[in-house]
Amino acid sequence: MKKYFITGLLIWIPLVITFMVLAWIVGTLDRIIEWLPNGLQPRAALGFHIPGAGLVVSVLIVLATGLVAANVLGQRLVAYWEALLARIPVVKSLYYGVKQVSDTLFSSSGQAFRKALLVQYPRQGSWTIAFLTGRPGGDAAHHLHGEYVSVYVPTTPNPTSGFFLMMPRDDVIELDMSVDEALKYIISMGVVAPPTRKLAPRPALLDE
């Protein structure tokens, strides 16, 4: 009986959590429709609420923004808007910080989370999964002697929070697993292990 109950839980828990997250995302985006004047809302025209209408409007707004920003005029408008934000002290720091992170993560040429690594954290002898993000930069690089790499150590089971570390190159081990496989491994708390592959010669850690 216990075996069947646990098997049922293993089927339903991922489904319920997935639907809860999707429902939250759709519900949040659905509220965007409330920004429209009352006369333009679907409820006023049809007499009833259409679930998901805000999600459709959100997608259309994002597509329209991308379409406008892709041409010369749109690029000038974006540049003017960023120049305006750059004059506001607090907004400038917040906006450009978020923009740099989003550009790195979502750009097609970006190299965020390049490779999965094995590192010792939070102490010697204790190992965890981390992701290569590049090399140390700025003034911090001037105080580090030898070859260092920048790594991100995510927390379990929520990989969106974690720790940024600058570690000696010799202290990290490159893993033969994709970033997606490593994320699944972290989120599952080590339950969903990536498949074992035959080791093959790999280029230097930061060559790719």
Per run of 10 residues, the mean pLDDT along the chain (length 208 residues) is 78 81 77 68 66 74 80 79 80 74 58 82 92 89 91 85 92 90 86 72 61
| Co-location of 31 and 91 in the same domain | no
- The number of distinct structural domains making up the chain is 3
Domain membership flag for residue 155: yes
Are 106 and 121 members of one domain?
no
14 and 65 co-located in one domain: yes
Collapsing DSSP to helix, strand or coil, 15 comes out as: helix
The closest of 118, 131, 208 to 170, measured between CA atoms, is: 118
96 falls within a domain:
yes
- For residue 208, being part of any structural domain is answered with no
Q: Are both 139 and 181 inside the same structural domain?
A: yes
Nearest-angstrom CA–CA distance, 33 and 55:
8
- Enumerate the H helices of the chain as residue ranges: 2-30, 42-46, 53-69, 72-85, 89-106, 138-142, 179-187
My answer on whether 121 and 104 are in the same domain is no
Q: Are residues 136 and 88 in the same domain?
A: no
The answer on 103 and 47 residing in a single domain is no
User: Is the residue at 204 inside a domain?
Assistant: no
Is residue 17 domain-shared with residue 47, that is, in the same domain? yes
Q: The domain containing residue 96 runs over which residues?
A: 79-110
- Domain assignment present for residue 206? The answer is no
CB neighbour class for 177 (10 Å; exposed up to 12, middle 13-18, buried from 19) = buried
Q: What is the pLDDT of residue 31?
A: 73
Domain membership of residue 65 (yes or no) is yes
Q: Are 148 and 168 in contact (CB under 8 A)?
A: yes
Same domain, yes or no: 127 and 103 = no
Q: Do residue 157 and residue 178 come from a single domain?
A: yes
Nearest to 144 by CA among 166, 123, 162, 118: 166
Instruction: Indicate if 86 and 32 belong to the same structural domain.
Output: no
- Residue 44, pLDDT score: 63
What pLDDT is stored for residue 206 in this prediction?
Answer: 62
In a domain, 203, yes or no: no
Residue 63 resides in a domain: yes
Backbone torsions φ then ψ of 4, nearest 5 degrees: -65, -40
> Which DSSP string do the residues of 56-71 spell out, in sequence order?
HHHHHHHHHHHHHHTS
| pLDDT value of residue 57 | 76
- Segments of 104-201 assigned E as strands: 116-120, 127-134, 148-154, 162-168, 173-174
Examine the domain organization and report whether 130 and 179 are in the same domain: yes
Q: Provide the 3-class DSSP secondary structure of residue 199.
A: coil
Domain final residue, candidates 41, 70, 99: 70
- State which of 70, 100, 127 marks the end of a domain: 70
Residue 47, burial from CB neighbour count under 10 angstroms (0-12, 13-18, 19+) = exposed
Q: Which contacts qualify for 16-25: CB closer than 8 Å, 24 or more apart?
A: none
